[in-house]
Amino acid sequence: MKRKFLYCGIALFSLTLMAFMKPVPKITLYLIGDSTLSVKEKKAYPETGWGMPFAVFFDAQVRIDNRAQNGRSTKSFLAENRWQPVADSLKEGDYVLIQFGHNDEAKEKTDRYTAVPDFKNNLLKFVKESRSKGAKPILITPVSRRKFDQNGNALETHKEYTQAVIDVAMQEQVPLIDLDQKSRALYQKFGVEQSKLLFNQLEAGVHPNYPEGKMDNTHFNELGAREIAQIVLQEIKKLEPGLAAYVVKSSAVK
């Protein structure tokens, strides 16, 4: 009888322990790129990278590791040894979302500027080294800046670098999210004035982080970041149904 109670006690303890144990993530989803998707410090709020709301879309089986950094191009990301730790950590079944271009095209900043041929080579490096570890790269064209012509048409702002990403994706048969095109369609839907609501635009005296105000057509606020993250999620559902299986089942995440 004592032995029976002992076994019952052990079983009950085991069940209780398991209830408090979190499942070990099966997949790590790495994000590499620039300020448009990076995690922001509190002093930058309400500026929000789209990788921040994106991180809550998946269940506990997926770990989001956002390595994107403000002001980085493919050139500086590699030069600062930010890629190698990611490459070393990759395992079979992981994913790498790759979105650069904003800073690669900045000719006035020599530490960032990357000519298109070099930009392509750097993307190829990310792709090939990801695949060599059994991870799956996904290329993302640079998210568009907010810019309209006099007739209210959303304009391309990354033409050469967007095409370079598309070229590499086609050459290497890599899943592609054309966030440049998708984000412009979003701005067009909102229109010239209402699209400002997606960006970190503030009048003077409205927010303590920006006492003199801010008129930013590149970086998002919370709403804009969420809208862009939703676009990325929708594209992933189409491209990688296996990964989409881990999306949190909620009416808020469609």
- How many beta carbons lie within 10 A of that of residue 212, not counting itself? 8
Cβ-contact 13, 6 below 8 angstroms: no
Is 212 one of the annotated active-site residues of the chain? yes
Q: Quote the crossing angle between the two packed helices 116-132 and 159-172, to the nearest 10°.
A: 40
Active-site residue (options: 108, 193, 212, 251): 212
Q: Is 103 left (phi over 0), alpha (psi -120 to 50) or beta?
A: alpha
> Could you give the CA distance from residue 192 to residue 84 in angstroms, rounded to a whole number?
41
Is 172 one of the annotated active-site residues of the chain? no
- How many beta carbons lie within 10 A of that of residue 25, not counting itself? 16
Q: Where are the alpha helices (DSSP H) in 73-143?
A: 74-79, 83-89, 116-132
> Could you give the CA distance from residue 74 to residue 102 in angstroms, rounded to a whole number?
10
Active-site residue (options: 35, 38, 76, 183): 35
At position 145, the amino acid (one-letter code) is R
Active-site residue (options: 129, 158, 219, 227): 219
At position 155, the amino acid (one-letter code) is L
β-strand pairing of 199-202 with 214-220: antiparallel
Is 207 one of the annotated active-site residues of the chain? no
Q: What residues contact 154, with CB distance under 8 A and at least 6 apart?
A: 144, 146, 147, 148, 184, 185, 187, 188, 195
> Could you give the CA distance from residue 45 to residue 24 in angstroms, rounded to a whole number?
32
Catalytic residues: 35, 212, 219
